[in-house]
Amino acid sequence: MNKILFHDTTLRDGEQTPGIAFSLSDKIKITNILYQIGLDIIEVGFPAASENEKNNIKKISKLFKKKNTILCAFSRAKESDIEIAYESLKEAKKSRIQVVAPSSNIHLKYSINTTKKQLIKNLRQSICKARGFFEDIQFTAQDAPRAEKKFLKELIDVAIDSGATTISLPDTTGFCSFEEYSMLISEIKDYIKKFKKVFISAHCHNDLGLATANTIAAINSGARQVECTINGLGERAGNAPLEEVLAILDLKYKNLLKKNIRLKKLAEANVLLEKITGIKIHNNKPVFGKNVFTHASGMHQKAVIENKNSFEILKAEKFGLSGGKISIGKLSGKAGIKKILNDLKVSLSGKQIESLTKEVKKYSLREKELSNSKLKQIIKKIK
C-alpha cells in the first residue's frame, strides 16, 4: 500500500495567520525542525510576494541543498511567478512548484477578477513554463469544493496535460463536511485514472472544526498526499494540524506512515512555533494541549495510575511528552492524592489523608487547581 506523503505549509499558509511574520532566522529554525520530523515536502513560501521573501527562500534552499526533502514554492498562474520561484529554489537538491489558481466562480470574480477562458489560458502557459524549470509540479485548484465540477475538471485536464503530476483540491474556506470532501476526492480520483502517475492532495481548513476529520476522510477516499501546518496555524480558524493527522495515522492507520517519521520531534516543533509566533495553543487542543495527558476526576485518576491506557489512547512518550499527570483539585480522590504524596515523598496516615482530601476540596473552590507548593502548605497544616 502507498504511504501518505506529508506536505507541510507552516512557512507559507501558516504565516498567513494574522499577526505572524517569519524572519529568515525563524524560517531556518522551522525548516530544520520540519526536516527532522521527516516530512516529504516543505513549502517554504511565496517568493513572488516580495524581494525579501524571494531572498529568504533562496537562502533556505542553499542552506538545505543537500537534504532529500522536497522544497516547494507557491506561485500564482503567472509566468513571472514561475521564473521567480525557479530562481529561489534552483539551489535545492529537490524542488517543487505549486501553481495555484481559483476554481470557484466567487473566487474567480473576487480573488483575481478574470474569466474562465482567460484563466485556462494563463494556467496552460504557466505550467508549460514551469515544466522548463521543474520536474515536480503541483496544481492547486483553490476553493475546489465550491467550483462547478465541469470547470474544475477542465482545469485539472489542462494542468495535467501541461505537466502537473499532483492535483491539490483545497477546501480553502473550510466549507465541507467530511462526506462532501470525501465525495469530491473520490470523484476526482476516479476522473484522473485516465492519467498515469498523477495523484491527489488534500488541503483542509478548520472553519467548521473539520480540518482533521476531512483530511482523514480524504485519505480514506484515495488522497495520496496531505497538506498540514504545525499547531494548525493558518488564516481564520487555521489548517489541519500536522500533529493531529500524524497521531491518527499512527494510532489507526500505521501502515500508511513512513518509517522515517519522527513523532518525538513534534513536541519540539510545537514549542518552537509557540515561541516564534507568540500564539499559545488552548489547553484541550489534541496532542499538545496541557490537559490532554492530565486527569482531574478522582475515578479517572485511580484508573490512570493503575493503567494509563484506561483513559489515554495516545502514548504521550511517542510525541516527546509525558502522560498520566494528576491535577489536584475539587474532583480529586484519595488515589490521586496518594500518588502526589508519593511523588513528593511525603508519608501520611490514613486519617491524615482523609483530612488532606477534605482540605484540598475546600481550597480548590478558591484556587481551582492546587500546585505542589500549595499542597505542601496544607500538609503542614494538618500534620
Residues 75 and 134 in one domain: yes
Residues 347 and 269 in one domain: no
CATH number, residue 238: 3.20.20.70
Residues 131 and 231 in one domain: yes
Residues 25 and 146 in one domain: yes
Q: What is the pLDDT of residue 254?
A: 96
Residues 267 and 299 in one domain: no
Identify the domain boundary among 246, 277, 308. Answer: 277
Q: What percentage of the chain has pLDDT greater than the value 70? A: 99
Residue 289 lies in a domain: no
pLDDT one-digit tens code per residue, 199-251 = 999 999 999 999 999 999 999 999 999 999 999 999 999 999 999 999 999 99
Q: What is the pLDDT of residue 270?
A: 97
Residue among 231, 287, 225 nearest 256 (CA): 225
Residue 56 lies in a domain: yes
- Angle CA 217–218–224, to nearest 5: 140
Predicted confidence (pLDDT) at residue 382 exceeds the cutoff of 80: no
Identify the domain boundary among 277, 309, 336. Answer: 277
Q: What is the pLDDT of residue 357?
A: 80
Q: What is the pLDDT of residue 1?
A: 65
Residue among 114, 161, 163, 162 nearest 142 (CA): 114
pLDDT one-digit tens code per residue, 12-25 = 999 999 999 999 99
Residues 356 and 314 in one domain: yes
Identify the domain boundary among 277, 310, 331. Answer: 277
DSSP-derived secondary structure letter, 101: E
DSSP string over 188-222: HHHHGGGSTT-EEEEEEB-TTS-HHHHHHHHHHTT
Residues 258 and 315 in one domain: no
How far apart, in whole angstroms, are the C-alpha atoms of residue 5 and residue 32?
Answer: 18
How far apart, in whole angstroms, are the C-alpha atoms of residue 198 and residue 221?
Answer: 15
Residues 273 and 298 in one domain: no
pLDDT one-digit tens code per residue, 13-70 = 999 999 999 999 999 999 999 999 999 999 999 999 999 999 999 999 999 998 999 9
Q: What is the pLDDT of residue 362?
A: 81
Residues 245 and 320 in one domain: no
Residue 284 lies in a domain: no
- Strands 70-76, 294-295: parallel, antiparallel or unpaired by DSSP? unpaired
Looking at the 3D structure of the chain, how many domains does it have? 2
Q: What is the pLDDT of residue 251?
A: 97
Q: How far are the Cα atoms of 35, 266, 289, 344 from residue 364, in angstroms, in the given order?
A: 44, 33, 22, 19
Residue 283 lies in a domain: no
Average the pLDDT over each of 64-68, 251-255, 289-293 and give the range with the smallest value: 64-68
End-to-end CA distance of the chain: 63
Residues 215 and 356 in one domain: no
CB 98 within 8 A of CB 66: no
Which grid cell sits at 98?
A: 505549486
Residues 116 and 143 in one domain: yes
Q: What is the pLDDT of residue 342?
A: 87
Q: What is the pLDDT of residue 340?
A: 86
Mean pLDDT of the chain: 95
Q: What is the pLDDT of residue 293?
A: 96
Which grid cell sits at 178?
A: 467530511
Predicted confidence (pLDDT) at residue 383 exceeds the cutoff of 80: no
Residue 348 lies in a domain: yes
pLDDT one-digit tens code per residue, 320-362 = 999 999 998 888 888 988 888 888 888 888 888 888 888 788 8
Range of the domain at 131: 5-277
How far apart, in whole angstroms, are the C-alpha atoms of residue 355 and residue 367?
Answer: 18
Residues 104 and 32 in one domain: yes
Predicted confidence (pLDDT) at residue 313 exceeds the cutoff of 80: yes
